[in-house]
Structure 1
Amino acid sequence: MFRSLLIANRGEIACRIMRTAQRMGIRCIAVFSEADAGALHVALAHEAHPIGPAAARESYLRADRIIAVAKATGAEAIHPGYGFLSENADFAEACAAAGIAFVGPPPAAIRAMGSKAESKALMVAAGVPVVPGYHGEDQSEDHLAAEAARIGFPVLIKASAGGGGKGMRPVLSPAEFREELAGARREAKAAFGDDRVLLERYLQKPRHVEVQVFADSEGRTIHLHTRDCSVQRRHQKVLEEAPAPDLAPALRERLHDAAIAAARAVGYVNAGTIEFIVEGDDAFFMEMNTRLQVEHPVTEMITGLDLVEWQLRIAAGEPLPLDEAPEAMGHAVEVRLYAEDPGADFRPSIGRLSRFFGPAQRPGVRMDTGVRDGDRITPHYDPMIAKVIAAAPDRDSALDRLHTALTETQVAGLSTNLGFLRRLTAHPAMRAAELDTGFIARHAAELIPPPRETPARALAAFAAVYLERLRLRIESASPWDVCLGFRLFGEGEQLLLLRDEARLRRVLVRRRRGAMQVVVDGGTPISVRADLSVDLRAAIDGVWHRVPFTVDGDAIALTFGGEDYDLRLVDPHAPLGGDAAAEGRLSAPIPGRVVQMLVSVGDRVVRGQLVAILEAMKTELRISAPADGVVTHLGCAAGDSVEEGTEIVTLAPVEDA
């Protein structure tokens, strides 16, 4: 077994690999960019080395720098994790040339499966069914349009060189094809440096089912059961579970057999995942991920295996520990907790995690993360905060356990999909396993409700706990410095102005003999008692509630009754302006690069019209006109790098232009 291992990745996967390697007695070496100097994976490593600036292309994608660190530290092996260089055949070859073991498959297998077009041809030759489509070399726009017409609409455009939903566009009609093709090529070029695409028939209600495979250098290949990864947004997975539910036994066996045949067809070694599109009783090969998957914990939970340990042992030349898959034990479900705003089409968000803690540690619940309280989610990398996983003897119990774990998880400081995940795991259609890749879009009204008003009881509980904590913090100060409504005669009162997602809220608090009377928006008084001796708690009508919250400047993240609320303290003496001054000014929501400007000064636009495309955090953000107007100013040009808040386009009302 290896004595030392370099982990050429970051975040939760780097931490995950270190946990196993250190348990095996292996010295762990981390690499980090300037943005990750204080990251958790750096703190956990035996030693850590800087490899460049924040941009991945100048650090985590620099194979030469990573191999130089491996040589300097005497690392015997490099684990690439997933993403970055994990599916880079040139990197695998460079490791071999340097005399360093690459924890992954042979370069030839990576190349064969890295091209969607080539892998489809190999699967056809191996007898593995594939989705009807076009995988040819002629990439001219006219030829692709003709092939799309031959396949029949709707069709799916996919980047030939990559995955993760980048460069993937469904096209419903011929009129949309050329525009969507251009967008898919831009995304593919930006993500993979290769703008070639392939076309496939677009299935209407497909499930995304995959099979975990392992192979050793002695030619043995086994499967480790199925996973369902159908619940996706922007073609990227949100929830995964194992085994895939509601598959007929014969279909499940066909998937197992096809996955093993696919791996053998390319001489595969180590961990890999064969992904299939399943619709009814039909199953078609989609692609192979030649690496460990983000969703590998659900397979570990139902098999009791450590897949990273298997990877390391096979890379060291050991045979597979088992000759066939162990029987699946129960059911496991995983969700990906992201820094993103589901209400804004899952737009990534950046900022500091002013509060972050996961569920209580107990059997059947697991959280994999690479961040801590106070860490920042930056625009440089994927915005995943953590994976939360739960397992139980059956699917319903696993979902119950996961939902409870999510209610215990707290995140504050930036927008996340935590509330969305809680609603997802409780949704009746999820409980009924009515799964396909359109699940989120079909149930968006319930999963992504419109902005809501914070309940009066939540505001009352928050005000009581917030002011009581403030009082205890400054009780030793001079009475003239304590702004808590002190009066020599009569009742003192304090007014908090809070803005929630819906409107400005007035919360008036009066103290009465140890308790507080709270009036929200002039409504019925609510009697509240705060207790900070154990936790942030408040009693409303004798019933105690936990009221965890974080105040970061004027921003407040509040949890009450299992729901999260974002509030903002309003200074009643602050000058007017803000939103009114910015009306008509379209700004960059996060740092990124301007891909395309679609309007010019003087153009008249209508509400919803696309005016610019911004690329940020591996995603294309489409900037649209919020109302009819006339373009009066352009703040940037195609190719410009922009910071959050940078003006993109300024519009004036038609009558003012």
Structure 2
Amino acid sequence: RWDGAFDNQGKITPHYDSMIAKLIVSAPNRDAALDQLVSALDDLLIGPLVTNAGLYRWLAEEPEIRTATMTTRYLDENIPPDAPSSESINSEAVAILQHQSSSADPGAWHQLPNFRVLPNEHRLVGVYEDQNGELQELVTHNKDLEKPATFNHKPDLLCINQNGHTISLQPVDRTQVWISDAASTRGALADVLAPFPAVVVEIPVGAGDLVQSGDAVLVIEAMKMLHTLTAPGTGTIESVWVSNGESVEAKQILVTFEQTEADKKEHS
């Protein structure tokens, strides 16, 4: 049973616990219920959000959870496994794209008699941004890659389930990637971005202020907790793009920094 309050047009705010749904299973006994939970989490696709579904998938198979012998210190004493690696996700994504490409119309060249198109061993099929804002280059291989059991591919979003984690990949215009790469070489400190949806509650700096690495530049509130965002290095504030009380989205630019004179000369 899935009790959800959001659809694909909904907006998750930072003003309270960001619960988007409850997944409920039932069975005659604890082990059977946990087995059903594992199966349901393996079939779940929910993106491009970052959720705790993968954490619950891991917990559902832990022996202490199965025998109900855990304590409230369980997560302090047991470290969850890392999220799926980029390499494993990219391999599954390429398998999906290659399969769909091979089943599509081969095109006019393949219709010509006695004409054969040689496969390219490594071909860039696209640049994608994952739910953490990282860019991933997907490259085809002349290998028979196995598709994941649970995935959903739309023109603007590819979601893959791996061990309960939904990995979301959104296609990115390669031109924008090149522009971003060029901008990153201008020599200024990296922009301060919102790590997740939140509300700005304090702005201790302003344009023209000199800050040191680790100095507080913003305080935001999310899920009833305050989070301090700090300067990534020593530099001068160019602009603060938000105001107190403003709601911000994940990856929104909050603070930018000026170039130093040395950087201007180096990158001119």
* Alignment TM-score, normalising by the size of structure 1: 0.32
**Structure 1 CA distance for aligned equivalents of residues 255 and 2 of structure 2:** 42
Which residue in 2 is equivalent to 1:376? 10
- For structure 2, list consecutive stretches of 5 or more residues without a partner in the other structure: none
> C-alpha displacement at 1:642, in angstroms?
4.4
**Structure 2 CA distance for aligned equivalents of residues 573 and 638 of structure 1:** 31
**Structure 2 CA distance for aligned equivalents of residues 585 and 439 of structure 1:** 37
**Which protein has the bigger strand share?**
1
- Could you tell me whether the CA contact under 8 Å between 1:588 and 1:648 is conserved in 2? yes
Matched, 1:391 2:29: no
Which residue in 2 is equivalent to 1:335? none
- Which secondary structure state, in structure 2, belongs to the residue aligned with residue 416 of structure 1? coil
> C-alpha displacement at 1:613, in angstroms?
1.2
Q: Could you tell me which of 197, 208, 211 is aligned with 1:604?
A: 211
**Structure 1 CA distance for aligned equivalents of residues 71 and 181 of structure 2:** 40
**Per the alignment, do residues 457 and 448 of structure 1 end up closer, same or farther by CA in structure 2, a change over 3 Å counting?**
closer
**Structure 2 CA distance for aligned equivalents of residues 442 and 626 of structure 1:** 32
- Could you tell me whether the CA contact under 8 Å between 2:44 and 2:164 is conserved in 1? no
Which residue in 1 is equivalent to 2:149? 546
**Structure 2 CA distance for aligned equivalents of residues 604 and 454 of structure 1:** 40
> C-alpha displacement at 1:422, in angstroms?
1.3
Structure 1 letter corresponding to 2:219: I
Equivalent pairs counted in the alignment come to: 248
1:98-497 to 2 correspondence within 5 Å?
366-372=1-7, 374-379=8-13, 382-431=17-66, 433=68, 435-443=70-78, 445-449=79-83, 452-455=86-89, 457-468=91-102, 471=104, 475=105, 486=110, 488=112, 489-491=115-117, 493=119, 495-497=124-126
> C-alpha displacement at 1:637, in angstroms?
6.5
> C-alpha displacement at 1:462, in angstroms?
1.0
Which structure has the higher relative contact order (CA within 8 Å, separation 6+)?
A: 2
Which residue in 1 is equivalent to 2:160? 558
**Structure 2 CA distance for aligned equivalents of residues 626 and 428 of structure 1:** 43
Structure 2 letter corresponding to 1:624: L
Structure 1 letter corresponding to 2:152: F
Which residue in 2 is equivalent to 1:140? none
Query: Cα deviations across residues 188-238 of structure 1 (Å, max 9, x unaligned)?
Result: xxxxxxxxxxxxxxxxxxxxxxxxxxxxxxxxxxxxxxxxxxxxxxxxxxx
Which residue in 2 is equivalent to 1:586? 192
* Alignment TM-score, normalising by the size of structure 2: 0.69
**Structure 1 CA distance for aligned equivalents of residues 127 and 71 of structure 2:** 40
- Aligned-residue sequence identity (percent) comes to 23
**Per the alignment, do residues 368 and 634 of structure 1 end up closer, same or farther by CA in structure 2, a change over 3 Å counting?**
same
Structure 1 letter corresponding to 2:230: A
> C-alpha displacement at 1:576, in angstroms?
1.1
**Structure 1 CA distance for aligned equivalents of residues 242 and 48 of structure 2:** 31
Query: Cα deviations across residues 101-132 of structure 1 (Å, max 9, x unaligned)?
Result: xxxxxxxxxxxxxxxxxxxxxxxxxxxxxxxx
**Structure 1 CA distance for aligned equivalents of residues 76 and 253 of structure 2:** 31
Structure 2 letter corresponding to 1:507: V
- Could you tell me whether the CA contact under 8 Å between 1:598 and 1:612 is conserved in 2? yes
The Cα RMSD (Å) is 3.9
- Which secondary structure state, in structure 1, belongs to the residue aligned with residue 209 of structure 2? coil
**Structure 1 CA distance for aligned equivalents of residues 210 and 64 of structure 2:** 45
Which residue in 1 is equivalent to 2:244? 639
**Per the alignment, do residues 434 and 378 of structure 1 end up closer, same or farther by CA in structure 2, a change over 3 Å counting?**
same
1:83-94 to 2 correspondence within 5 Å?
none
1:14-29 to 2 correspondence within 5 Å?
none
**Structure 2 CA distance for aligned equivalents of residues 431 and 626 of structure 1:** 44
**Structure 2 CA distance for aligned equivalents of residues 453 and 382 of structure 1:** 32
**Per the alignment, do residues 560 and 637 of structure 1 end up closer, same or farther by CA in structure 2, a change over 3 Å counting?**
closer
> C-alpha displacement at 1:615, in angstroms?
2.7
**Structure 1 CA distance for aligned equivalents of residues 165 and 245 of structure 2:** 40
- Could you tell me whether the CA contact under 8 Å between 1:390 and 1:401 is conserved in 2? yes
Q: Which has the larger radius of gyration?
A: 1
- For structure 1, list consecutive stretches of 5 or more residues without a partner in the other structure: 1-365, 509-518, 520-524, 529-539
- Which secondary structure state, in structure 1, belongs to the residue aligned with residue 180 of structure 2? coil
**Which protein has the bigger helix share?**
1
